[in-house]
Structure 1
Amino acid sequence: MNPEQTPNTWNSPEGHERSIEQTPPSIYVASLADYVNGYLTGEWIDASQDIDTIREEIQAMLATSKSEAPEEYAIHDYEGFGTLRLAEYEDIERIAAIAEGIKEHGEAFACWIDHTGLDPEDWHQFEDAYLGTYDSIEAYADQMIDDLDLEATLDDSVPESFRSYVKIDRDALVRDLEYGDIWHMDFDGQVLVFNSHI
């Protein structure tokens, strides 16, 4: 699920560039007082750290403010959260919990939260819901066929003279799976597959 990425750059707020290589879930936190007064005071923070460390880094960023006694901050950008969108004033505890899940399971975890809208007490269901990442939904069906050893079962069960007439209808399998047992989403050039009953 986490293929190696080649180093690249992307634009953070106000045109700041940041090199990334296997970047953990991160948030760009900025001082609101400075922002309102036309200054840019902010910092990229690794969101997969413990909540106390994240808060300490936010306070350290605010301590560099050009404004007097800045207290408020906002999230102006983020990276590594899959399809999930974070609000400017997203709860830091929720962000840390999501980032912990991403650190353990990859960005599929955030995509699943985004799609299901489940509350944190139900996030433990991800491990049962997530069926894997594939090049296509057809590749998932092929994996199912291989895991069940269906071709070998047909070889053993069907007389050789009839074997060429007996085939597994993969397209029908895909269609039926999509109508009942699974749902999937495209992400980062691949397909994330989930159990629709969880």
Structure 2
Amino acid sequence: MTARPPQTPTLRRKEVSMSEHLPPPQPGPEGVNSYGTDDPEEQAQIEAARTAAAEERRANRAKLERYVSYGLNEEDAQGLIEHEQMLKDRRDAVAAGQLEQGEADKRIRPRIYVRSLVDHTEGHDIGDWIDASRDLEDIQRDVQSILSRSLHAHWTGEPAEEWAIHDQDGFGSLTLHEYESLDVVCALGKGIAEHGLPFAAWAEINDATDIYTLNRFEAAYFGAYDSREAYAEHVFEEMEGEKELEALPDWVRDVVRVDYERMTHEMETSGEVRFVDHPGGVWAFNGRV
């Protein structure tokens, strides 16, 4: 009888499901839903944000289809929409005072937002911010650059020639006209960049479109003071008024008081001095210049 060789036992692999390795799912907190919160007020805010985002997507899609129908390819049309949104976000940030200013440059940088008028009337935001503190030729070049990007000109072959100022930044309380001359914008921008907001105040109390008047700022500006009375005290000191008081007899000096409020009233009513109020005090200007 022939002996059989020993047989190697067959190893069977145990089929193990992933569920045997992973812990069972944990139930979420009660009341939490797709909003991630059970607070009704927060849910309302989230729902409003979702609705706004959906509306923006629909509007952008409609705009994309319109641009494509005008002859742009889809990629260029999408790029134009993103560019318009970037400009809008930047304008909103400027209006809200959220733009950060570099530590290396704390000067005021007056700017204007210029749009192509023909495109604006057709519903397209073809425009950009322009630094108004540079030379006139540079500002004019930037305006022409904006007009050269006109969609109307691209579609019709007719050049875009008209533009308008639709926003401004860094001009203080001075309001520019929509069709302000660029040489006036340049004079204002350079003056504010060099002298700060007192220059804008000087322009505002005079004819801001008169470049000759704007150029007289340095001769007219007396300085910044905490109040009108503080300026009167400064004038009194400059005139060495204290010495005059000391020359008086003691019994007279004891009853003499300098009425600084009356001094400033007389200065203003006579036209000798003009004051402009601002949050930190007043700016004083020579009223005869």
1:80-159 aligned at under 5 Å gives the runs 80-117=170-207, 119-155=210-246, 157-159=247-249
Would the aligned equivalents of 2:202 and 2:214 in 1 still touch at CA under 8 Å? Answer: no
Aligned twin of 2:167: 77
CA distance in 2, matches of 1:13, 1:159: 71
Distance in structure 1 (CA, Å) of the matches to 2:204 and 2:262: 29
- Structure ranking higher in strand proportion: 1
CA deviations 1:108-153 (Å, max 9, x no partner) are 2232222222722343332222212222111111111222232244
Partner of 2:255: 165
Is 1:197–2:281 an aligned residue pair?
Answer: no
CA contact (8 A) 2:207 2:213 kept: no
Q: Secondary structure at the match of 1:33?
A: helix
More helix by share: 2
2:48 is equivalent to residue 48 of structure 1: no
Q: Which residue of structure 1 lines up, in the alignment, with residue 92 of structure 2?
A: 16
TM-score by length of 1: 0.80
Aligned partner of 2:7 in structure 1 is none
Structure number with higher relative contact order (C-alpha < 8 Å, ≥ 6 residues apart): 1
User: Distance in 2 between the 1:23 and 1:13 partners?
Assistant: 22
Q: Is the 1:13–1:77 Cα contact (8 Å) retained in structure 2?
A: no
Q: Is residue 30 of structure 1 aligned with residue 129 of structure 2?
A: no
Cα deviation, residue 170, structure 1: 1.6
Structure 2 counterpart SS, 1:186: strand
Counterpart contact for 1:13–1:76, Cα < 8 Å: no
In structure 2, C-alpha distance between the alignment counterparts of 1:120 and 1:64, rounded to whole Å: 31
Conserved in 2, the CA contact under 8 Å of 1:41 and 1:61? yes
Report the Cα distance in structure 2 between the residues aligned to 1:188 and 1:74, rounded to whole angstroms: 31
Q: Distance in 2 between matches of 1:83 and 1:13?
A: 22
* CA separation of 1:143 and 1:13: change in aligned 2, threshold 3 A: farther
Distance 2:254 2:222 in 1: 31
* % identity of equivalent residues: 36
Which has the higher mean CA deviation after the structures are superposed, 107-116 or 62-71? 62-71
Partner of 1:65: 150
Q: Following TM superposition, by how much is the alpha carbon of 1:48 offset from its aligned partner in structure 2, in angstroms?
A: 0.9
Which SS does the other structure have where 2:114 is aligned? strand
Larger Rg, first or second structure (1 or 2): 2
Alignment coverage as a number of residue pairs: 186
Which sections of structure 1, spanning at least 5 residues, go unmatched? 1-11
Corresponding residue of 2:275: 184
| Aligned amino acid, residue 42 of structure 1 | G
